[in-house]
A = this chain, B = another copy of it.
Amino acid sequence: MELAPIGTVASPLTDPDAAPCQGDEGAPEAWLELVAEVAPALRGIAAGDELLVLTWLDRARRDVLEVHPRGDASRPLAGVFATRSPDRPNPIGLHRVTVLEIAGTRLRVRDLEALDGTPLLDLKPVLGGIAER
């Protein structure tokens, strides 16, 4: 089970401690820079679409199984599967974004809290008009 990056995040966010926990909590605009080889996989995606972006959270810890939610030490420990902590056995990030612009294999998006340089794993459409971060 080996992953191959389909691209990389380009974002002004570089400091994990300063990045918002969720994309709708003040994340700046960012670019999804896809590798040229996957260009055909974008067919049908247009500006205005909502997408789910899967990332590889390469700065996360994989040996952490319990955390204080949102890094708030006053909250009781929770299992990482009950939280969206980046620290988890398989650090796959799931982000809901809106596509603002498509330029070749680069997509400008809103509401992405991933850090600059984060590898991209997959894009999926939001189904049924219902949304998930």
A contact residues vs B (CB 8 Å cutoff): 1-6, 22, 38, 40-45, 51-52, 54, 56, 58, 62, 65-66, 77-84, 88-90, 92, 94, 96, 119, 121-128, 130-133
How many copies of this chain sit in the oligomeric assembly?
Answer: 2
- CB <8 Å contact, A132 and B127: yes
- CB <8 Å contact, A1 and B89: no
A83: which B residues are within 8 A, CB to CB? 44, 125
Among A88, A119, A124, chain B packs the most CB atoms within 10 A around the CB of: A124
CB pairs A–B below 8 angstroms (8 shown): A22-B127, A41-B88, A41-B89, A45-B79, A84-B127, A94-B124, A96-B132, A130-B131
- CB <8 Å contact, A126 and B132: yes
Q: How many angstroms from the CA of A51 to the CA of B82 in the assembled complex?
A: 8
A22: which B residues are within 8 A, CB to CB? 127
- CB <8 Å contact, B124 and A84: yes
A92: which B residues are within 8 A, CB to CB? 54, 92, 121-122
